[in-house]
Amino acid sequence: MSEKKIHEDQKYVDGLLKNNSFIIQAIYDKFVPKVINYIKQNSGDADKAQDVIQDTLITIYNQASEKKLQLTCPFDAYFFLLCKRKWLNELKKSSNKEVTINEEVLSINDEAQELAFETSIFGEKQALFKEMFQKLGTACKDLLKATFKIKPMEEVAKSLGVTYAYARKKKSLCIGKLTELVRESPKFNQLNN
């Protein structure tokens, strides 16, 4: 990706990261009504819209904290596109209903499309990781959770009451198993294509 200028709306992403209630309220006041209206017009209701909005804000937060999200387009376009994609995915999952999509003509630039796509893929990869993590045995889950929270392996081994060598070997095996589970998942190939 070439050098792109950070958009002034980066303040919304930064505000989410810092849990700034003023910024979060501004997001709800400025951008949420449009999403609620869109979802209501497309086979949804206010409760479902709130779920999509919450999920999207969490995804943006995670993308910002883990991948240092840099907004190069208006937040409005980016946020709306992410919510719209999440809603369309929800409709696809429960496609036993008749789906009516009222596409409004939006001037969403390519950068918003690209950022929204990257963020939605990031969210889906995170969900896949969490799903496969749950399939691991208790010992693996405990060890990996400890390594996420405690950095030095010596401390992890001590906290779990095992030797340093055992903790390192077990961590390697657990990560290998998790990687195998993720790669064998049909979702993995969909996300990488």
Band the pLDDT of 99: cuts 50, 70, 90.
very low
pLDDT score, position 101: 46
Q: In 3D, which of 105, 87, 104 has the Cα closest to residue 95?
A: 87
pLDDT score, position 62: 85
Cα–Cα distance, 143 to 153 (Å, whole number): 10
**pLDDT tens, 130-145?**
888 889 888 888 888 8
Q: In 3D, which of 57, 49, 45 has the Cα closest to residue 16?
A: 57
Phi then psi for residue 139, to 5 deg, are -60, -45
Please tell me the pTM assigned to this model.
0.55
pLDDT score, position 53: 92
Answer for the pair 153, 167: CB distance below 8 angstroms, yes or no. yes
Q: Report which of residues 150 and 36 the model is more confident about.
A: 36
Token duo for residue 149: 């929270």
Alpha helices in the chain (DSSP H): 10-17, 21-30, 32-41, 46-67, 75-93, 110-133, 138-149, 153-160, 164-184, 186-192
**pLDDT tens, 24-59?**
999 999 999 999 988 888 888 989 999 999 989 988
Band the pLDDT of 108: cuts 50, 70, 90.
very low
Cα–Cα distance, 174 to 190 (Å, whole number): 24
Looking at the predicted structure, is the pLDDT value of residue 95 above 80?
no
Token duo for residue 3: 């050098």
